[in-house]
Structures are given as C-alpha cells and as structure tokens.
C-alpha cells in the first residue's frame, strides 16, 4: 500500500469549500478555554464540511496564531460567528428551526451510539468548557442531550476529541453519502 499524495486526494480549495453544499450541522462552542481545542474543532469541521461554528463567551476567534496552529487554515474555510452570550446562539438556532443538542452527561440523555439524526432536520451540537462542561442553563434550553458512553475512571474526554467523535457519528449515521 502507498499513501495518497495531496494531488491524488483531490481536495477543494477555500473558494470551492465556501461554494459547496454543507452538512446540516453547526457546532456551538460554549466558553472553550484552549485555543488549540478551538483550532482542532475548526479542522474537524472543515474535514466533515460542516455548515458553521459558533464561538461563544470566552472562546477565542480567528484570526489567532494559536487557533491557526491546529486549524492549519481551516478557520479560513469554515464559516464562523461569535456570540458574547451562548444563550443568544441557542435562541438564534432554535428560531431557525435547528434541533440543539448539548453533548453532556445528563439524566435522560441519549447515548451517542443510539442517536440517529432525522432526515431533513438541521442540527446544532453544543460543546462545553473543558472543566465545567456545557453550562446548565444551556442544557436546560437544549432540545436534548447526547452522551458518549465511557468506561474508565475519568468522567470526561478532551472537548476536541469529543467533538470529533460526535461529528463523525452524525456524518456516518445520516449524511456520509451527501459528501461524496
């Protein structure tokens, strides 16, 4: 087996990305502290051709050297918007008919492996602060919660890892065929 070259991967440029159809999923980052996590999530959003990222509260915004270090330019391709208050982002998305799901450990949450997105519905996933998680007020305002089953001694995973897992699950269960 031989690795593919960049030319053989036939990737689109930023202009083509901006003009392409997107996966109907918006990522909401609720007070993410690490700029490297923000950059990593931008890179995943680019790879999966997501609609946008909403950066809220203390979450840093591009242009930023530390975000760029892990985003590797994805912050130039993926649409993003800043909200001072995460609740304003949630209200905006729900007014636009998005189903807002917090990725959090909650009573009554749906395990990620059991979640199947409904065809034709638009979604937004909310990811929380590295220490405190998704704020309880945001959880309360969400249309539901998704939880990633865990089996070790720790009660959480890195937010960029969690985002990658949740985004891939979403794509694999509903929209993978649209991105080809």
CA dihedral for 38, 73, 101, 138, sign (positive or negative): positive
pLDDT tens sequence across 33-81: 999 999 999 999 999 999 999 999 999 999 999 999 999 999 999 999 9
pLDDT of residue 179: 45
pLDDT of residue 100: 98
Q: Which residues touch 39 (CB under 8 Å, ≥6 apart)?
A: 66, 67, 68, 69, 70, 71, 72, 74, 75
Domain ranges of the chain: 21-179
The band of 175, judged by pLDDT with boundaries at 50, 70 and 90, is low
Say if residues 41 and 127 touch (Cβ distance below 8 Å).
yes
Element (H, E) at 27: strand 23-30
pTM beyond 0.85, yes or no: yes
- Using the structure block, give the residue that is written with the tokens 């799901």: 101
Q: Return the CATH superfamily for domain 21-179.
A: SPOUT methyltransferase, trefoil knot domain (3.40.1280.10)
Cα separation, 38 vs 113, in Å, equals: 24
pLDDT of residue 58: 98
């Amino acid at each position: 087996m031989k690795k593919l070259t960049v030319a053989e991967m036939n990737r689109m440029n930023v202009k083509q990305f901006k003009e392409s159809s997107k996966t109907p999923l918006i990522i909401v980052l609720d007070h993410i502290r690490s700029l490297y996590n923000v950059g990593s999530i931008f890179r995943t959003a680019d790879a999966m051709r997501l609609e946008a990222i909403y950066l809220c509260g203390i979450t840093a915004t591009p242009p930023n050297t530390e975000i760029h270090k892990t985003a590797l330019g994805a912050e130039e391709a993926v649409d993003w918007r800043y909200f001072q208050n995460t609740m304003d982002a949630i209200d905006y998305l729900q007014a636009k008919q998005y189903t807002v799901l917090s990725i959090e450990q909650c009573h009554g949450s749906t395990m990620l492996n059991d979640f199947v997105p409904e065809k034709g519905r638009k979604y937004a996933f909310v990811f929380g602060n590295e220490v405190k998680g998704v704020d309880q007020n945001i959880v309360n305002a969400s249309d539901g919660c998704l939880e990633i089953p865990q089996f070790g001694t720790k009660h959480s995973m890195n937010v960029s890892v969690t985002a990658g897992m949740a985004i891939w699950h979403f794509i694999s269960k509903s929209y993978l065929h649209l991105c080809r």
